[in-house]
Amino acid sequence: MGIEVKVEGLTKSFGKQQIWQDVSLTLPAGEVSVMLGPSGTGKTVFLKSLIGLLKPEHGRVLVDGVDMARSPERDIMEARKLFGLMFQDGALFGSMNLFDNIAFPLREHTKKKESEIRRIVMERIDVVGLLGAEGKLPGEISGGMRKRAGLARALVLDPQIILCDEPDSGLDPVRTAFLSQLLIDLNTQIDATMLVVTHNLDIAATMPDNMGMLYRRNLVTFGPREVLLTSEEPVVRQFLTADVVGPIGMSEEKDAATLAAEGPAKSGAARELVPQLQPSPGLGERAAVARRRERVLKMLPSLPETAQAAIRATYGSEPVEQGATLS
Ligand SMILES: Nc1ncnc2c1ncn2[C@@H]1O[C@H](COP(=O)(O)OP(=O)(O)OP(=O)(O)O)[C@@H](O)[C@H]1O
């Protein structure tokens, strides 16, 4: 099972520019979480802080007993092996074919024999649906294939935490849907903790167990998907309905005069809460589902009414675990 990531009071600045402050959240073990936020709100900086590549001034990132912000570098390097990272462009070496690109972390970080490396690499290539393309150079394949190759490379060291930075960027809607399905299938197969940074509303609405949103240097909220998807918060509503009227402007936030000129934000219809994406047939249920259900039902009384109603609608017809309340 994946490992929990606990973020406590994280604050990051570059010089005088504060990126975000006092961010606290827990990525539950083995669950899929999504981080939303307008461009430039520091989502990539957040991912880099989780793996200790950037050092926030305050706060902690606890992974398996290691603080990725402040523990000795040797411990951080060791803990980093628990992570698999998928960057926007796949971050592949242009002169290496896909096989060698995907084998790279194994050759770099392990002493495995070539025969063992071949077995692992071909298995991961199969998981991401790239069998037959292993001899191609990154420049000879599509953007979607490059992303899947990047994902295969992120998987070779058996990560327990997978971070994906805008996996949908540059993909058409069909390929984005394939990729969402691939990530959910992967979660079913390896039960890793996953955090996906995205602007994509379809991914946000269908894929995660949990969602958060960064805005104006703060974490607006982080919690079960139903909380954000039913939120009345103007900034969340505007983002999820892709409306130009509201607090978010071209440069992240609008000034008071612009907002006043626009008049009150429309109380436009929220996106309908659609059922969560299911694993492909034959894969069975995600192990995270039962854990999440128990966790969310326990926290139910502390959630906003609209989220409680949405959660009841999801779980209501099933038997209630001891200690959880659905009344
Ligand atoms: N190493 C760095 N040094 C100085 N400033 C940086 C550095 N890395 C990021 N920034 C700044 O931090 C801010 C947040 O950047 P980041 O890339 O995390 O945003 P984002 O939310 O991922 O944006 P997008 O959705 O457009 O990818 C930006 O203003 C960026 O210029």
Structural domains for the chain: 5-82+159-315 (3.40.50.300)
pLDDT value for 264: 54
ipTM for the assembly: 0.96
Q: Which residue has the tokens 């077995």?
A: 119
Summarised one tens digit per residue, pLDDT across range 49-99 is: 999 999 999 999 999 999 999 999 999 999 998 999 887 766 788 899 999
**Atom 30 in ligand 1: which residue has the minimum CA distance?**
40
Q: Which atom of ligand 1 approaches the CA of 37 most closely?
A: 21
CA of 19 to the centre of ligand 1 (A): 8
Average pLDDT score, the chain: 86
- Distance between CA atoms of residues 216 and 237, nearest Å: 15
- What is the DSSP pairing of strand 248-249 with strand 252-253? antiparallel
Within 10 Å of residue 132's Cβ, how many Cβ atoms? 8
Q: How confident is the model at residue 241 (pLDDT cuts 50, 70, 90)?
A: confident
**Within a 13 Å sphere around the CA of 26, how many CA atoms are in the beta-carbon half?**
10
Q: Give the pTM.
A: 0.87
- Of 70-79, 197-206, 290-299, 308-317, least confident by mean pLDDT is 308-317
Q: How confident is the model at residue 4 (pLDDT cuts 50, 70, 90)?
A: very high
pLDDT value for 255: 61
Summarised one tens digit per residue, pLDDT across range 274-288 is: 889 999 999 999 999
Stronger pLDDT, 132 or 239, i.e. the higher one: 132
- Of 39-43, 233-237, 321-325, least confident by mean pLDDT is 321-325
> Cβ-count burial of 111 within 10 angstroms (0-12 exposed, 13-18 middle, 19+ buried)?
exposed
**Atom 3 in ligand 1: which residue has the minimum CA distance?**
14
pLDDT value for 322: 45
**Atom 28 in ligand 1: which residue has the minimum CA distance?**
40
Rounded to an integer, the average pLDDT of 214-228 is 90
Both tokens assigned to 209:
């167990």
pLDDT value for 273: 81
In testing the pocket of ligand 1, which one of 10, 13, 19, 250 has its CB within 8 Å of the most ligand atoms? Answer: 19
With contact defined as beta carbons under 8 Å apart, do 5 and 201 qualify? no
- Of 66-75, 254-263, 301-310, least confident by mean pLDDT is 254-263
Which residues in 227-255 are b (16+ Cβ under 10 Å) and which e?
Answer: bbbbbebbbbbbbbeeeebbbbeeeebbe
CA of 212 to the centre of ligand 1 (A): 18
- Judged against a pLDDT cut of 80, whether residue 321 lies above it is answered with no
pLDDT value for 320: 47
**Atom 24 in ligand 1: which residue has the minimum CA distance?**
39
pLDDT value for 133: 92
Rounded to an integer, the average pLDDT of 303-310 is 90
Which helix (H) or strand (E) segment holds residue 148: the answer is helix 143-155
Q: What φ, ψ does residue 61 adopt, rounded to 5°?
A: -125, 105
> Cβ contacts of residue 290 below 8 Å, gap of 6+?
none
pLDDT value for 2: 87
CA of 36 to the centre of ligand 1 (A): 14
**Atom 25 in ligand 1: which residue has the minimum CA distance?**
39
User: DSSP state, 14?
Assistant: E
Sheet architecture: strand order including 193-197: 83-86, 161-165, 193-197, 32-36, 210-215, 218-224
- Of 77-81, 181-185, 205-209, 264-268, least confident by mean pLDDT is 264-268
CA of 172 to the centre of ligand 1 (A): 24
Q: Which atom of ligand 1 approaches the CA of 199 most closely?
A: 25
Both tokens assigned to 64:
């398996």
∠ Cα 271 170 80 (to 5°): 90
pLDDT value for 323: 45
**Atom 2 in ligand 1: which residue has the minimum CA distance?**
14
CA of 50 to the centre of ligand 1 (A): 15
pLDDT value for 275: 87
pLDDT value for 314: 83
CA of 147 to the centre of ligand 1 (A): 21
Q: Which atom of ligand 1 approaches the CA of 46 most closely?
A: 18
Q: Which residues line ligand 1 (CB under 6 A)?
A: 14, 19, 37, 39-45
Percent of the chain with pLDDT strictly greater than 70? 86
CA of 40 to the centre of ligand 1 (A): 5
pLDDT value for 120: 92
Q: What φ, ψ does residue 175 adopt, rounded to 5°?
A: -65, -35
CA of 43 to the centre of ligand 1 (A): 7
> Cβ contacts of residue 82 below 8 Å, gap of 6+?
3, 63, 64, 159, 160, 161
CA of 218 to the centre of ligand 1 (A): 15
Please name which of 43, 29, 32, 23 lies closest in space to residue 195, comparing C-alpha atoms.
32
**Atom 31 in ligand 1: which residue has the minimum CA distance?**
40
